[in-house]
Amino acid sequence: MTATLETSTPAGPARRHGLIERLLGIVWIGPAIAAIVIYVFFVIVGGASGFLSIPGTAGWLNTAAELGIIAVPIGLLMIAGEFDLSTGSVVGAAAIIVALGTGFYGLPVALTMSMALVMGIAVGCFNALLVSVTRLPSFIVTLASNFILAGTSLGLSRLISGSSNVSLKDAGWAEAVFGSKWMFFNVSVLWYAVAIVIAAWVLKQTPFGNWIFATGGNVDAARRAGVPVARVKLILFIWTAVSSAFVGVMSAIMYNQGNAAQGQGYVFQSAIAAVIGGVLLQGGFGSVTGIVLGTFIYGIVSLGLFYTGWPTDWLATFIGALLVIAVLTNNFVRELALNRGKRKS
Amino acid sequence: MSALMTLQSVSRSFGNNLALDDVSLEAYPGEVHCLLGDNGAGKSTLIKIMSGVTPPSSGTLTFDGRPVAFRSPRDAKAYGIGTVHQDVGSIPLISVARNFFLGNEPTKGWGPFRRLDHATANRIALEQIREMGIRRINDAGQLVGTMSGGERQALAIARALYFGARLLILDEPTAALGVKESKIVIDLMIKARSQGIALVFITHNATHALQVGDRFTVLIQGRIASQFKRGEKTREEVLNLMAGGEEFDAAGHGD
C-alpha cells in the first residue's frame, strides 16, 4: 500500500526499475524491514522462553491492537499536519463515564457507552474549533485539552463516587463485544482489524484521503484547489477522539473497572507508533500499513523485552532509540524516493 | 473580437492605503496580456480581484460580456478563471494523478463504496501533461516532488485547462526557474494561446514578457503607467518603463 496511485497501464515506454529501486518506492518499506528485524531478534533472544508461543504472540498483538485503534487515526491526523495529545484523557474520561454510569449508577451500558462516544465527539470538535479559531498549533491546543479533561474527569469522579477508580461488575452484552477472549487473543484485535480496514480505505480509496495528504502537504495549495481543509481537520480530530473514547470504553468493560487517570500512556505511544511507521512529522506523507507496522513494532518490543528476561525498566530506552533510528531511516528513504527520476539540470 | 474579461476603472483600498487606483484592462481570447511592475505595484491585488479572492472597492468586472461580481475563488473558477500560482504542485509527496485531480477527484461505485477511480485519474493526468509536451513523465503514480519546476508549472496549467479555464492567470510562473525550465513554461503559454485561451501573465522578466506578450500593462504604485500592444514600443522603451518603477534584474534582459 503506497501513498501513490498505481498505474495499471503506463503510457509510453515503461521505465525499468531495479528491484531495490522498486522496493524503495514503497512507502512502508522502512517499518516493514524494521518490524521483521526486531521480530527475528526477539525470536532468537526470547523465543526459548515463550515469545513465539500463543500467549506470547497474543501478548504483543493485544498491546498493538489497543494502541493501534488510537494510533491509526492519530497517524491520519498527523498526515493532515496536526497533532492530538488529548487522546490519553479521552481514554480515561470514557472509561470513567462507563464505570460511573453503569457500575455506580446502574445505567444501561448502551447509554453510558453512547455518552462516552459523544464525549469523544465533543472533545474532537473542541480541539478542531480551537485550532481553527485561534490558529494556535494543535500541539499546544490539544495538550491543554488533555490537561483540562484529565483534571475534570478526576475531579468529577472523586466528587461523585469518592474515588478515581470505579469498578464495573457486570456490563452484560457488552462483555462479549468488548471483553471476550479467544485463546489469549483479546477481541480488541478484531476491532483493530476493523479500524485498519476503514482507515486504509479512506486514505487510499476516497477523495477525502486525497484531501488528507494535500492538507498536510501544503494547506494553502489545498485550499486553493477547493479542499475544505477546516472540515478535513474537524473530521480527523473527531475520528481520533472517538477512537480514543472507544478504547476507554473497551478497557473499562474488559478490565471491569474505570480509572479517570488511565490512558495517559497513549498520548506519546500513539505518536511514536505513527512516526516509527513512517508518518512525516510535518505532515503530507504516510500510510496506514506503515502505522500498523509501527504499532506491531511497539507491541513486539514491549512484550519481547519481557521474554528476554532482561529488566523491562529499559523498555523506554529501547523505544526512544528506535524512534530516532526510525525517523532518520524514513527521511533517508523518502529522499531517495524523491530523487528517483529527478532531472539533473 | 471582443474581450473575454474586462476591468473598468477598478480601484481597491485597504484602509487608507490605495493599492489599486482606477485600473482598466482587457483580456482577449488567444492573447497574452502581460502585467508588469515592481513589488507593491498592485499586481497581486489586481489578480486577487480577477480571481475572486478580494472584491474591488469600486469599478466593474465584465466576463464574457456580462458584468460579474465574484463571491469567492470557487465562484471565479466556475466562470472559467484558472489561477496558476508560484507554489504550484507544492504538495510534493503526493502523486501526479492525485495532484492533478485534487478537489475534483473522479470516483466510481456508490454509497459507502464510492471510491477514487485510480485508473481514470492516472490515464487522464498522464494524457494531459503529455499533451503539454512533458514527455519525461510516464508514470502518473510518480511523486510530484520528482518533477522539475517547469514540469510542475506544466502540471498546474494542464490542470487548469482540463477543468475548463478560459482565462488563465499565471502569477510569476517563471520567477523561480532556470532558462530551460522557463522555456517550457513560455512554450506552454504559446500553446494555450493558440487554443484560444486568454492569458494574463504576471512577470518581472522583460525578456519573457516580450517573447509572448500581445498586450502590456505596466503598473507603478497602483496606477497604470503605460498600456500598449505588441510592437508599439521598442524593447528599450519597455525596459525603461519597467525600470521606472524598479531596478530590474540585469540578467533578465540580456539575451
Q: Does a structural domain hold residue A8? A: no
Taking CA–CA distances from A286, the nearest residue in chain B reads B93
Q: What is the CATH number of the domain that holds A182?
A: 1.10.3470
Which residues of A are less than 8 Å from B95 in CB distance?
A: 3-5
Q: How far is A193 from chain B (nearest CA, A)?
A: 18
User: Does the CB of A280 have a partner CB in chain B at under 8 Å?
Assistant: yes
| β partners of residue B67 | B62
What pLDDT, on a 0 to 100 scale, did the predictor assign at position A107?
Answer: 87
Residue A223 lies in a domain: yes
Residues of chain B with C-beta less than 8 angstroms from the C-beta of A334 = 93
Local structure of B22: helix, strand or coil: strand
Most confident of the ranges A8-22, A220-234, A236-250:
A236-250
- Chain B residues whose CB is inside 8 A of the A226 CB are 74, 77, 102-104
Q: Where are the alpha helices (DSSP H) in A135-228?
A: 138-161, 173-179, 188-205, 207-217, 219-224
For the segment A95-147, what is each residue's pLDDT rounded down to a tens digit?
Answer: 999 998 888 888 888 999 999 999 999 999 999 999 988 889 999 999 999 99
Q: Does A221 touch chain B (CB under 8 A)?
A: yes
Strand partners, B33: B200, B215
Q: Which of residues 92-121 of B touch A (CB under 8 A)?
A: 92-95, 97-98, 101-105, 107, 114-116, 118-119, 121
Query: With contacts defined as CB-CB under 8 Å, which chain A residues touch B181?
Result: 345
Residue of B88, B143, B163, B181 to mutate, testing the A interface (most A Cβ within 10 Å of its Cβ):
B143
Average pLDDT over residues B16-22: 88
Has residue A8 got a pLDDT over 80? no
Q: Domain spans of chain B?
A: 1-80+166-255, 95-164
Superfamily of domain B1-80+166-255: P-loop containing nucleotide triphosphate hydrolases (3.40.50.300)
Residues 163-202 of B with CB under 8 A from A: 178, 180-181
Q: Which domain holds residue A49?
A: 29-331
Q: Is A225 on the interface with B (CB under 8 A)?
A: yes
Report the helix count and the strand count for chain A, using DSSP H and E.
14, 4
Q: Is A174 exposed, middle or buried (0-12, 13-18, 19+ CB in 10 A)?
A: buried
Domain count, chain A: 1
Instruction: Tell me whether residues A10 and B139 touch, CB distance under 8 A.
Output: yes
Beta strands in B121-177 (DSSP E): 167-171
Q: What is d(CA B212, CA B210) in angstroms, rounded to the nearest whole number?
A: 6
pTM across the whole model = 0.86
The angle, 0 to 180 degrees and rounded to 10, between the axes of the packed helices A265-276 and A288-308 is 110
> Chain A contacts of B130, Cβ < 8 Å?
11-12
CB of A343 within 8 Å of a chain B CB? The answer is: yes
User: In this predicted structure, which of A136-150, A227-241, B129-143 has the lowest mean pLDDT?
Assistant: B129-143
* DSSP structure class, residue A66: H
| Residue A154 pLDDT > 80 | yes
In this predicted complex, what is the ipTM? 0.80
| Any domain includes A154 | yes
> Of B74, B103, B115, which is closest to A206 when you measure between CB atoms?
B115
Per this entry, what is the length of chain B? 255
Q: A217–B119: do the CB atoms touch at under 8 Å?
A: no
CA-based nearest distance B78→chain A, Å: 11
Taking only the tens place, the pLDDT of each residue in B64-117 is 989 999 888 888 888 999 888 776 556 888 888 998 998 888 889 888 888 888
B94–A213 C-beta distance less than 8 A? yes
Q: Is A237 helix (H, G, I), strand (E, B) or coil?
A: helix
